[in-house]
Every structure is written in structure tokens, then in C-alpha cells.
Amino acid sequence: MTRKRLKSDDKFALTDWEGFRKDMMELSLIDNNESHADQLKRVARLEADTEAWFAFYFPTYYKSKPAKFHTRATKRLFENRRWYEVRAWSRELAKSARSMMEVVYLAMTGKIKNVLLISNSQDNAERLLMPVMIICESNKRLINDYGLQEKPGNWEVGEFVTLSGCAFRALGAGQSPRGTRNESFRPDFIWVDDIDTDEECRNPDRINKKWDWIEQALIPTVSVSGNYRILFNGNIIARDCCITRAFKKADHVDVINIRDKNGKSAWPEKNSEQDIDKILSMISTASAQKEYFNNPLSEGDVFKELTWGKVPPLNKFRFLIAYGDPAPSNSTNGKGSYKSIFLVGNCDGKYYVITGYLDHVTNDEYVNWYFYLKDFTGDKTVVYNLIENNKLQDPFYGQVFIPLFATKGKEKGFVGIIPDTRAKPDKFSRIEGNLEPLNRLGKLVFNEAEKANPHMKRLEEQFLLVSAQLKAPADGPDCIEGAVWIINQKMAQLEPGSYTIGAKKGNSKRF
């Protein structure tokens, strides 16, 4: 029999599959001394405990204790014979691996007979189905307990039928699934994995075409009166994509991020806080939000681009504002809000963001930032040092920051701190209303000499990701808005009747 192999002629890819096969054979050892009666009892016990079944037959995959969302998802899938579920699980949460184990369990126990695996292309669908094929060929434990699975004449990459009676077929989106049968069995498990691509999501017409194919060609392959399970796996990589459209049709939608609502690892048994912090530190906020937090962000929703330019000499400024937002966290990990402080001034009608800091740091280092800016400005002009201090922050300011400033002041020289007690309106409205006009008119200028500064890079990134949803961090833009507002209030005091874009009349405060 001529057997179809991987379409890719990449020898390294083929080597990887052979390594996977070897690992599967070596790790799925069997007990040759087990009696037939004991074997039957063991298999029955494993089938009654799906997690034990997964752990026994898939040692190459089942290396960490599952999280609750894993076990709940499997329970829903197994208990409902007519079911449509979407799993928008972050990367590193075992979407595909879990689904593969579930499908093999259902196939080996005779609960499904015809599986369609759908992905964005034929090659990708075959790649996702390949582990199932190798497991059926080489998993000694599975073969020992359920018999040989490779069926002569019906065994090739992308399409095969097991001797236990379950057919598997890989299809790329748009390919015809019509007529797909396994004897009298219509598809009873549609497994959609990695259906969306970044390129297609930028073109609504392509998403419409793909979704039409899913609804008009793919889903109607199941029997109206029979059992079926439809499972969509993927990340929310765009506001409009096949996954988000499936949300509206599914019986259940499961959105699980790399971290839960409390900022803790959703699967700590596998992904430690340190590991998550490390990987997130290596990629941009936009990439992190899309791949790990199901939050696709469009750069330039409010701020299309920033203006970088030369800053006048500091002695040309009548005064400068060093405005800081302390954030509640006292940690260097990346889970909480960013601490921030930026030096901002107005000269000849333009607001200059001169330099500053934006990062996850301890309270001690945050206080140091004020002294760094003091050294930066020297005696070139007057600097007003402000710290955000609303009602919620006030106890923290008095108990933590005042003592820290006092201690540092003895070592480094006095820095006068003014608490900003303004009751701030909605964050997005403030940033958009007070800063977007300035930026659009070229009146908000970022210091080109500091463009390589990582803190300024983070600030730029946060500006470009500002949106009405404000799901991305906006602590830097919020800090700049605070500085601009204070500048306008101060200018109104120094020059009554003089207001600039973004200024708010009334309730002016004397410093």
C-alpha cells in the first residue's frame, strides 16, 4: 500500500514526528504479566475516571494536574451528546492536547464514529491530526487494551479509519466536507482548532466567507436527529473572527486567560507566576493581550501616532510638573498596575513629555524616581512634585509614602510633595478628551532624545493601545493627563483668563 506522508518535505519536521513516536512507545510501557481479568478490571476502572484514563494512556501529554476549568470542560463534553462549545483558552492551557485526549477517549470507547478536524489550512489540520494517528499506531498501552488500530487500506495522513471503527479526516477551511461518512455514520464530532488567522481577520470579507462555509457546509454534515459534538478551540485574536461569531451560537462559551480575574495563574500546576512574568516581559502588551488574555487590541484607535520632537532647554519653562501615580502594588511582578511618574511642561503652547518612569516597581524605588527627576532638572526651573492621592489612596499615602519621602529626604535632600486629591472622572474620557486634541494638533510632544528609554517606549505603547474598552494598561497616559491638567490649573492661576486645550474651568487649586 502506498502511504501518504506529510506534505512538508522539511526533514526536521519529519524528525520531530519520529521523535514523538519514539517517546510514545517508550513511555507507554505495559505490564506483560497482567492477567486478562485484571486487565479488564483496570480498563473499566480507567474508563470510569477520565482523568486517570488520560494520565495512563497519554504520559507524553498529561504531565501536570489539570485545573478545574479542564475537568469541567471535559465533563460538559462527555455528558452532553448534542453539544456546541467554544473554548477560547489562552496559549499554554492545553486546548489542542486536551481535545485530542477527549476525542481519542470517545473514539476508543465507541461513543463517536466520525471525526472531522478543521483548521485554517489542510496542512495545519493534518499537523493537528498527526498525533492522533501516531498514538493509534504506536501507543503500546492503547493497543494492548483496545487492540491494533491501524486499518489497512484506510490509513494515511489526514484521513484514516481505526479498526475500532472511528474515522478521522482533516480539512482546511473552505474545503468540501460534503459526503463525509464512515459507513452509515455521519460526522458526530466536529473539532475546529486554530481556524482564525491574523491576515484573514484584517479582511471582513474573508471572515464572512469562512463563516458562511462553517454554517452552510461544515455544520450541516452532522445528523439532525443524531448525536453530535461541535468543539471550537482558539484565541480571540480579533474583535470579529470565527471564534467570536461562534460565541453567539454555542451552548457554552469558555474564556480562560493565562491569569484569572485575581491576577493569578489559571493553571499554577503548569504555569508558575515567574514563568508567566518572563514570557510576558519578552513581548509587547498588544501581543500579550491577544495571545494570553483573549483581548485583541487595535493600535491607533484613539492615538494614531505620537509626535516626537526636540525639547526646549529646561530654563525656558516657567515651571515643570513631575506627576506620579503610585499604584497600589508593592511588587516588581507584572500582574498589577504600573507605577508611573513623568516630567511634563508647557512652553510656547506645547506640552512636552520630557522624561519619566513607567514600570512595575516597589514603593521604595517609586519614591526614588522623584529624586532621580530632581537630579535631572537641577536648578534649571521650578518643579512641582505631585502624587495622585484620591480617597482610596489617602490612607496608603499617609502610612507608606510620607515616611518613605521623609527617610529619602534625609539622605538625598528635600523634595516637596503635593498630593493631587482631584476626584477624577472616567479614565478613558479624561485621556481622550484632554490629550487626544493636543496630540492630533501636534501640541503634545514627546522628547526625541528619550525615545530609546524603555520607560518612554512603554508609554508610547500604552498611548497607541488606548481604546474605549481600556482593557490594556493605560497608567502612563493617565499620568500624562494628570500632569497636563495640573499645568492648566497652574497656568490659569498665574494668568487668569488664559486657558489651553484640555483645561477645565472652576475648582482651581492653589499650590
The span from the CA of 266 to the CA of 139, in Å, is: 30
Distances (CA, A) of 271 to 259, 268, 279, 282: 10, 5, 11, 16
Give residue for cell 460534503.
Answer: 178
Q: 9-18, 182-191, 469-478, 494-503 — which one is most confidently predicted on average?
A: 182-191
DSSP bridge pairs for 170: 117
Contacts of 139 (CB under 8 A, 6+ apart): 24, 25, 28, 57
pTM check: above 0.85: no
Q: Which fold has domain 55-292?
A: Rossmann fold (3.40.50)
The residue ranges of every structural domain in the chain are 55-292, 307-494
Instruction: Please give the order of strands across the beta sheet that includes 228-233.
Output: 150-156, 159-162, 167-172, 114-119, 189-193, 228-233, 82-89, 252-256
**Looking at residue 335, what is its pLDDT?**
63
**Looking at residue 357, what is its pLDDT?**
97
Rg of the Cα atoms in the chain? 30
343's grid cell:
516630567
**Lowest pLDDT segment from 2-11, 19-28, 226-235:** 2-11
The span from the CA of 404 to the CA of 370, in Å, is: 12
**DSSP labels for 448-507?**
GGGTT-HHHHHHHHHHHT--TT--S--HHHHHHHHHHHHHHHHHHHHSTT---TT---S-
Q: What is the dihedral of CA 243, 248, 254, 258, to 10 degrees?
A: 50
The span from the CA of 162 to the CA of 448, in Å, is: 64
The span from the CA of 500 to the CA of 444, in Å, is: 12
Q: Rounded mean pLDDT of 153-163? A: 89
Domain boundaries 307-494, corresponding CATH code? 3.30.420.320
pLDDT, averaged across the chain: 87
**Domains 55-292 and 307-494 in one fold:** no
DSSP state of 116: E
Do 135 and 24 contact (CB within 8 A), yes or no?
Answer: yes
Q: How confident is the model at residue 509 (pLDDT cuts 50, 70, 90)?
A: very low
Give SS3 for 319.
Answer: strand
Question: Where would I find the H helices in 264-393?
Answer: 273-281, 285-292, 363-377
**Span 43-94, pLDDT tens digits:** 999 999 999 999 999 998 999 999 999 999 999 999 999 999 999 999 999 9
Q: How confident is the model at residue 393 (pLDDT cuts 50, 70, 90)?
A: low
